[in-house]
């Protein structure tokens, strides 16, 4: 294999920008100290948080956090390479120093992030999976989602393609929603994808590269009109760095892109880590326990105001029978994203009951541990219902009443949508360390393989500046964007504007990655969650199902759960002759710890039709 920093003949190229390593000797020990301090703090903060938990499944927690932080680590060297490509290829900074510099500002960007992008991404998930994240299905959802994203990112990195981690994550989440809806038993109250939210996110991800291309091209034209210094539009000569003012501009834009990348991309892993923590140790993380935030009293006050406001819109004669009926009506509204007269009175009753349950407690610390998880789910569900009023305007309200809803919505978010500082530091460390590993493949693509000529100072500055502004604006709006696609399309835009020409083989691959990442991640996500619904040989010629002309109509899945390992698990659907077997239950005879060692004893059909219409088959234990 030819070294990526050598000539095609294998002869070393001492003048190649990736060979430069000056200035990195003192930086590495300093960053090492920062990492050590961060790891110590994360360990201390985690131990303090877990002190309130009765039991902690350490192995599960460790594996879950390792996978989640692994996604951010891969994201670091996969995406952040784009930020340093321009400063490296314009000789503004030595390669190794540039990578470490970018890693530090990725770290700082994560620490200062708001969390809006994290919870915006999570809002794409089916609400019942979020509420039941501690179940086997919930863990399977999070693990498969992260593993799918990691596999796709590693694959595109190996090929040197600047594909988008944001696209990958969103595609995986949409795959969750589709699988959750399509594979649910007939008639079950299961939500799928929130297509309005998915459309907003999808438009942002798909349009931002187009904006990057044309905005960078226009900016380069404007720079040529306003800044007449020819040095700005020249390619680097040898190892000589650019003039100080050009160098300062390029370093500033690289710093801005790195910071914005950390602030935006770093949040995607944070949201999933919070889901993991809520599922594994709900007593510690189900509700916000930040010491300097006592929001419970504000929550109680806001709930009284919103109860009064909702009461004005309750239609005469519309009631709910009890607390269970009220909760079911609210869940149905959130699941279907619709509103009815019953929803109004149900939400009012649900809010009243939830607040009454918390009334005896002055702060979150005094809430009994066995109530914390249920309280969190109730408050979260109320928040999702309020979004239908506050954001989607499904219940028209007067301005004063709408303000009461908005204030209450903020109180709900304070309780359930929070990110502890140690989570930010852990993600920042993973992203920062990832930045320093494996970055060369993507840097070579951005620096050498998009345009036909060498990247000039002006082109690098224009592409980086547009990427920095675009990502920063998206972060403020709580929208995920792809650093990879915005910057690489910006470089392509400057090459087109400069008349340098594009390497169309690379551009074609970038376009394919841009278009196909969402779909590939969705399929990858579904593939990790779906297995063959029956063991080998069941659909062979001797099988009763085969003799009855059965065909698998829709592959389902089963989950090797943490709490439900010994229970029958839903497998798949079949058409048996003219009768529809809506779902199959598979009972394992032995649980050997891995899917490959499971044996299957019997399969039975569960259907709204008489069971006699469906075949029952016996599967040999050694099949």
Which pLDDT belongs to residue 6?
A: 40
H/E segment holding residue 89: helix 81-89
Over range 254-276, report the average pLDDT.
85
Least confident of 61-75, 288-302, 506-520, 538-552: 538-552
Confidence of residue 303 (pLDDT cuts 50, 70, 90): confident
Least confident of 136-150, 308-322, 324-338, 342-356: 136-150
**Positive or negative CA dihedral for 476, 479, 482, 485?**
negative
List the one residue out of 206, 69, 111 whose CA is nearest residue 420: 111
Least confident of 331-345, 348-362, 492-506: 492-506
Q: What is the pLDDT of residues 79-98, one digit of tens each?
A: 766 778 888 888 888 888 88
Residues 6+ apart with CB under 8 A from 5: 13, 16, 18, 19, 440, 444
Confidence of residue 619 (pLDDT cuts 50, 70, 90): very low
> What whole-number distance in Å separates Cα of residue 566 and Cα of residue 589?
9
Which pLDDT belongs to residue 521?
A: 52
HSE of 495, CA atoms in CB hemisphere, 13 A: 23
Confidence of residue 579 (pLDDT cuts 50, 70, 90): very low
Ordered DSSP codes for 544-600: HHHHTT-EEEE-------SS-TTS-EE--EEEETTEEE-EEEEEEEE--SSGGG-EE
List the one residue out of 533, 536, 529 whose CA is nearest residue 575: 533
List the one residue out of 465, 407, 402, 518 whose CA is nearest residue 220: 465
Q: Is 181 helix (H, G, I), strand (E, B) or coil?
A: helix
Mean pLDDT across the chain: 72
Strand order in the sheet with 583-590: 569-570, 583-590, 599-606, 617-618
Q: Which two tokens stand for residue 390?
A: 């506050």
> What whole-number distance in Å separates Cα of residue 28 and Cα of residue 158?
26
DSSP for residue 240: P
Which pLDDT belongs to residue 596?
A: 33
Which pLDDT belongs to residue 19?
A: 59
Residue 216 contacts residue 491 (beta carbons within 8 Å): yes
Over range 275-285, report the average pLDDT.
85
Q: What is the pLDDT of residues 433-483, one digit of tens each?
A: 887 776 777 777 776 777 777 778 888 888 888 988 888 888 777 777 777
pTM (2 decimals)?
0.71
Confidence of residue 405 (pLDDT cuts 50, 70, 90): confident
Alpha carbon of residue 196 to chain centroid: 17
Largest Cα–Cα distance of the chain, in whole Å?
85
HSE of 447, CA atoms in CB hemisphere, 13 A: 26
HSE of 446, CA atoms in CB hemisphere, 13 A: 35
Ordered DSSP codes for 328-375: HHHHHHHHHT---HHHHHHHHHHHHHHHHHHTT-SSGGGS-HHHHHHH
**pLDDT at 320 > cutoff 80:** yes
> What whole-number distance in Å separates Cα of residue 150 and Cα of residue 144?
10
Which pLDDT belongs to residue 15?
A: 59
Q: What is the pLDDT of residues 45-77, one digit of tens each?
A: 998 888 877 777 888 888 889 999 998 888 877
More confident residue, 523 or 250: 250
Q: What is the pLDDT of residues 132-146, one digit of tens each?
A: 777 777 777 788 788
Over range 33-55, report the average pLDDT.
87
Which pLDDT belongs to residue 487?
A: 83
Residue 112 contacts residue 258 (beta carbons within 8 Å): no
Q: Is 618 helix (H, G, I), strand (E, B) or coil?
A: strand
Confidence of residue 603 (pLDDT cuts 50, 70, 90): very low
List the one residue out of 136, 133, 141, 132 whose CA is nearest residue 176: 141
Least confident of 114-123, 218-227, 305-314: 114-123
Confidence of residue 527 (pLDDT cuts 50, 70, 90): very low
Over range 247-267, report the average pLDDT.
86
> What whole-number distance in Å separates Cα of residue 123 and Cα of residue 478?
12
> What whole-number distance in Å separates Cα of residue 165 and Cα of residue 145?
12
Strand order in the sheet with 551-554: 551-554, 573-576, 579-581
Which pLDDT belongs to residue 507?
A: 72
Confidence of residue 343 (pLDDT cuts 50, 70, 90): very high
State the pairing for strand pair 551-554/569-570. Answer: unpaired
DSSP for residue 18: G
State the pairing for strand pair 599-606/551-554. Answer: unpaired
What is the number of other CB atoms lying within 10 angstroms of the CB of residue 33?
10
Which pLDDT belongs to residue 342?
A: 92
More confident residue, 219 or 550: 219
Confidence of residue 346 (pLDDT cuts 50, 70, 90): very high
Burial group, residue 266, by CB count within 10 angstroms (0-12, 13-18, 19+): buried
Over range 339-353, report the average pLDDT.
91
Task: List the domain boundaries for the chain.
Answer: 17-183+193-284+419-529, 291-414, 544-618
More confident residue, 608 or 66: 66
Q: Which two tokens stand for residue 253?
A: 């834009």
Q: What is the 3-state secondary structure (H, E, C) of 391-439?
A: CCCCCCCCHHHHHHHHHHHHHHHHHHCCCCHHHHHHHHHHHHHHHCCCC
Which pLDDT belongs to residue 144?
A: 78
Residue 534 contacts residue 603 (beta carbons within 8 Å): yes
Q: How far is CA 444 from each of CA 73, 450, 506, rounded to the nearest angstrom?
A: 20, 9, 12
Over range 532-553, report the average pLDDT.
33
Which pLDDT belongs to residue 20?
A: 54
Which pLDDT belongs to residue 33?
A: 86
Which pLDDT belongs to residue 235?
A: 76
Over range 373-384, report the average pLDDT.
87
């Amino acid at each position: 294999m030819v070294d990526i920093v050598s000539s095609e003949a294998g002869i070393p190229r001492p003048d190649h920008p990736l060979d430069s390593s000056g200035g990195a000797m003192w930086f590495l020990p300093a960053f090492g100290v920062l990492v050590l301090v961060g790891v110590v703090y994360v360990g201390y903060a985690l131990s303090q948080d877990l002190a309130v938990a009765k039991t902690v499944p350490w192995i599960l927690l460790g594996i879950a956090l390792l996978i989640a932080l692994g996604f951010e680590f891969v994201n670091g060297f996969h995406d952040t390479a784009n930020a340093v490509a321009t400063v490296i290829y314009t000789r503004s900074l030595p390669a190794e120093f540039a990578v470490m510099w970018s890693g530090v500002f990725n770290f700082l960007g994560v620490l200062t992030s708001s969390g809006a992008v994290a919870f915006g991404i999570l809002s794409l998930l089916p609400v019942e999976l979020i509420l039941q994240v501690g179940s086997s299905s919930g863990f399977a959802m999070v693990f498969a989602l992260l593993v799918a994203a990691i596999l796709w990112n590693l694959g595109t990195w190996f090929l040197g393609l600047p594909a988008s981690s944001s696209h990958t994550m969103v595609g995986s989440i949409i795959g969750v929603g589709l699988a959750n809806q399509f594979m649910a038993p007939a008639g079950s109250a299961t939500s799928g994808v929130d297509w309005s939210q998915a459309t907003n996110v999808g438009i942002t991800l798909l349009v931002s590269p187009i904006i990057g291309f044309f905005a960078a091209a226009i900016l380069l034209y404007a720079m040529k009109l306003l800044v007449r210094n020819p040095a700005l539009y020249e390619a680097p000569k040898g190892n000589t760095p650019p003039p100080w003012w050009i160098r300062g501009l390029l370093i500033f834009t690289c710093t801005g892109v790195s910071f914005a990348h950390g602030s935006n991309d770093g949040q995607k892993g944070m949201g999933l880590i919070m889901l993991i923590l809520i599922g594994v140790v709900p007593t510690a993380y189900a509700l916000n326990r930040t010491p300097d935030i006592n929001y419970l009293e504000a929550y109680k006050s806001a709930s009284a105001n919103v109860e009064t406001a909702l009461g004005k819109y309750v239609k005469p004669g519309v009631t709910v029978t009890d607390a269970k009926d009220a909760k079911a009506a609210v869940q149905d509204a959130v699941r279907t994203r619709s509103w009815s007269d019953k929803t109004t009175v149900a939400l009012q009753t649900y809010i009243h009951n939830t607040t009454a349950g918390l009334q005896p407690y002055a702060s979150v610390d005094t809430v009994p541990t066995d109530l914390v998880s249920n309280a969190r789910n109730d408050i979260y569900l109320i928040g999702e219902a309020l979004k239908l009023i506050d954001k989607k305007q499904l219940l028209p309200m007067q301005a004063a009443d709408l303000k009461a809803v908005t204030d209450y919505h903020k109180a709900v978010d304070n309780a359930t949508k929070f990110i502890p500082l140690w989570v930010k530091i852990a993600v920042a460390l993973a992203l920062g360390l990832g930045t320093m590993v494996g970055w060369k493949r993507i840097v070579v693509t951005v620096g050498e393989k998009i345009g036909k000529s060498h990247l000039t100072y002006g082109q690098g500055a224009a592409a980086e500046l547009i990427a920095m502004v675009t990502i920063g604006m998206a972060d403020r709006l709580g929208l995920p964007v792809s650093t990879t696609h915005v910057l690489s399309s910006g470089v392509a835009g400057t090459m087109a504007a400069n008349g340098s020409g594009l390497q169309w083989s690379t551009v074609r691959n970038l376009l394919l990655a841009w278009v196909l990442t969402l779909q590939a991640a969705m399929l990858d996500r579904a593939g990790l969650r779906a297995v063959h619904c029956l063991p080998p040989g069941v659909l062979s010629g001797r099988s009763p199902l085969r003799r009855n002309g059965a065909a698998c109509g829709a592959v389902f899945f089963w989950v090797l759960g943490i709490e439900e390992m010994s229970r029958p698990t839903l497998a798949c659907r079949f058409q048996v002759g003219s009768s529809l077997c809506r779902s199959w239950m598979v009972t394992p005879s032995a649980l050997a710890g891995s899917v490959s060692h499971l044996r299957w004893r019997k399969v039975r059909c569960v259907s709204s039709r008489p069971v006699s219409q469906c075949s029952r088959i016996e599967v040999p234990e050694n099949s």
